[in-house]
Amino acid sequence: MNRSGEQFASLHSGIDLCYETFGDPNDPPILLIMGLGGPMGWWSDDFCERLTSRGYFVIRYDNRDTGRSTKLRQHRVTKRDIVRTAVLARGTVPYTIGDLAVDAVGLLDHLEIDQAHVVGVSMGGMIGQTLAIDHSERVLSLTSIMSTTGRRTVGHIHPRLLPMMLSSAGSSRDSYVKRAIRAAEAIASPAYPPEREASLARAYETYDRGWSASGVARHILAAVTQPDRTKRLGEIDVPVTVVHGSADPMVNRSGGRATARAIRDAEHLEIEGMGHDIPPQLYDTLIDAIVKTAERAPVR
């Protein structure tokens, strides 16, 4: 397996993104964009390697404020800021979903990649949708997974998760891991429950690679102030597949349904018993959806 190991891209914005590639750079590129608070390792090695075995060059990266990418700690965010901004859906924020999409473009520039197939999960789906709208010339296809349009009447979070979202992870590695396990169990796919050892390993790796509570808070602000993209999603003219779980408590499946309706000729795959995670049991299903979407793209 041709794997690059972790590298860094220094963007014009002053942000450094940590990234890793898998496979042959001469193969069609797939850019994997993770969601809120998630470092690139949440796209597992196995998932990336299965994609490369299908003939793709895979890029995964840490969004700003995750993993080893730049942390914007100078922008302090309180719980009160989050609640007030979520209620008003506006306010001054350190950065937007649009800024995160520009980061992705900067990474493609660094890699000298003109166009890529884009796959985004949750907030990563919001970033991917924004890429396909605002930077359409860089996107060959889009697979939007467990995400939403930005319209506040769809894709809502289940109220039972709100206390967890606003709770403190404590100040130690062990306290973070305990909270991370609780969170993973709360949003897990009921039909595909996670293995505790795998969840523990992911939690420890996430903390050790540079988990940042304030970074998660800044991600939340970007997500809750995202614009309603419903109308502009109709401008997308690349192949799109929208994937969502029937049992997603973090982003209600209405978000996926609304996204699919808004995009002309979008394929819609709703997976029974899937929550807000990527169970290994569903890797082949998701990879098939990604590959079929990419194969629908015209050769350019």
State whether the Cα torsion 115-121-124-127 is positive or negative. Answer: positive
CA 237/CA 140 separation, integer angstroms: 9
**1 part of a folded domain:** no
**200 part of a folded domain:** yes
CATH of the domain at 266: 3.40.50.1820
- Across 6-20, 141-155, 156-170, 175-189, least confident range: 156-170
- Across 82-86, 158-162, 294-298, least confident range: 82-86
**275 part of a folded domain:** yes
- The band of 138, judged by pLDDT with boundaries at 50, 70 and 90, is very high
**144 part of a folded domain:** yes
Better pLDDT: 60 or 170? 60
Task: Calculate the average pLDDT of the chain.
Answer: 94
Residue 139 scores a pLDDT above 70: yes
**2 part of a folded domain:** no
**162 part of a folded domain:** yes
- The band of 256, judged by pLDDT with boundaries at 50, 70 and 90, is very high
Mean pLDDT for the stretch of residues 198-205: 95
The residue among 157, 171, 174 whose CA lies nearest residue 251 is: 157
pLDDT of residue 65: 98
* The residue to which tokens 């929550």 are assigned: 275
**192 part of a folded domain:** yes
Residue 20 scores a pLDDT above 90: yes
> Is 146 in contact with 245 (CB distance < 8 Å)?
yes
Residue 143 scores a pLDDT above 70: yes
Residue 1 scores a pLDDT above 70: no
The residue among 228, 220, 219 whose CA lies nearest residue 258 is: 228
- Span 23-57, pLDDT tens digits: 999 999 999 999 999 999 999 999 999 999 999 99
3-class DSSP state of 111: coil
**187 part of a folded domain:** yes
Residue 85 scores a pLDDT above 90: no
Mean pLDDT for the stretch of residues 106-128: 98
**pTM (predicted TM-score):** 0.96
pLDDT of residue 164: 83
Instruction: Give how many domains the chain has, as a whole number.
Output: 1
Domain that holds residue 90: 7-295
CA 62/CA 19 separation, integer angstroms: 6
Radius of gyration of the chain (CA): 18
Percent of residues, the chain, with pLDDT higher than 90? 88
Residue 142 scores a pLDDT above 90: yes
